[in-house]
């Protein structure tokens, strides 16, 4: 089985749990003030800041290097979004769960970096597009404020996902290393769920 299929299967159950985040449901249901999304955008700035700093560090790595794709990088868009939404770019209000996630990213090696890279960017290119459209519909947020969801520089998201899965399947990892990538992807989902639960608590949404 290729790594792309192994990752999909290894993360299916935890992905299902991520779907049921009370914060995401309240946000997408329009039950929260826009400020509740601004705080999430600030968490993303912390997460992508660490992920893309690691990308810069591993750009020359023979295995991780091919995954360092500038058009995927979100920090430039997130800085504009947070500023447009009235948040702080210079000092984003990071939750403890986000700090823990960023710390895990900072200590990642090539295999773990790719696991986090897959979890965030392939998620943004799939379910994330749904979130982007609902933000526009529910809160009227388009352009600066929602640039995070704009991957037009990549061309068609579905064609890119095919290319991305081929990159995963071509990565020269043996079974043990592939297992480590899958385990870290599950950990990455758990870290994302913890951030969404932290958001639910901070924005006082009943569980």
The smaller minimum CB distance to ligand HEM, of residues 64 and 135, is found at 135
The residue from 43, 98, 192, 203 that contacts ligand HEM (CB under 6 A) is 192
- Binding segment for ligand HEM (CB under 6 A), chosen from 38-46, 82-90, 123-131, 139-147, is 123-131
Does residue 162 bind ligand HEM (CB under 6 A)?
Answer: no
Is 1 among the residues that bind ligand HEM (CB under 6 A)? Answer: no
Does 7 engage in binding with ligand HEM (CB under 6 A)? Answer: yes
Euclidean distance between CA atoms 99 and 94, whole angstroms? 6
15 touches ligand HEM (CB under 6 A): yes
Give yes or no for residue 153 binding ligand HEM (CB under 6 A). no
Residue 127 lies near ligand HEM (rule: CB under 6 A): yes
Whether residue 81 contacts residue 141, with contact meaning beta carbons closer than 8 Å, is answered with no
> For residues 17-56, which are near ligand HEM according to CB under 6 A?
18-19, 24
Residue 69 beta carbon to ligand HEM: minimum distance, rounded to whole angstroms: 15
Residue 91 CB, shortest distance to ligand HEM, in Å, is 24
Q: Name the site residues for ligand HEM (rule: CB under 6 A).
A: 7-8, 15, 18-19, 24, 118-120, 122-123, 126-127, 130, 189, 192
């Amino acid at each position: 089985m290729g790594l792309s299929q192994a990752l999909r299967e290894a993360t299916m159950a935890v992905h299902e749990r991520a779907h049921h985040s009370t914060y995401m449901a309240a946000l997408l249901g329009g039950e929260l003030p826009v400020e509740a999304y601004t705080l999430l955008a600030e968490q993303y700035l912390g997460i992508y800041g660490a992920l893309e700093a690691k990308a810069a560090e591993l750009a020359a790595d023979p295995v991780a290097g091919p995954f360092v794709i500038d058009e995927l990088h979100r920090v430039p868009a997130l800085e504009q979004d947070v500023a447009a939404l009235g948040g702080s770019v210079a000092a984003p209000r990071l939750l403890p769960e986000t700090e823990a996630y960023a710390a895990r990213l900072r200590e990642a090696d090539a295999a773990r970096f790719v696991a986090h890279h897959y979890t965030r960017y392939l998620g943004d290119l799939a379910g994330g597009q749904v979130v982007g459209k609902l933000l526009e519909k529910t809160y009227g947020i388009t352009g600066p404020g929602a640039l995070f969801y704009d991957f037009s520089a990549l061309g068609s998201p579905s064609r890119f996902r095919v290319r991305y899965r081929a990159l995963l399947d071509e990565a020269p990892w043996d079974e043990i290393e592939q297992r480590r990538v899958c385990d870290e992807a599950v950990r990455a989902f758990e870290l994302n769920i913890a951030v969404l639960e932290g958001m639910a608590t901070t924005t006082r949404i009943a569980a």
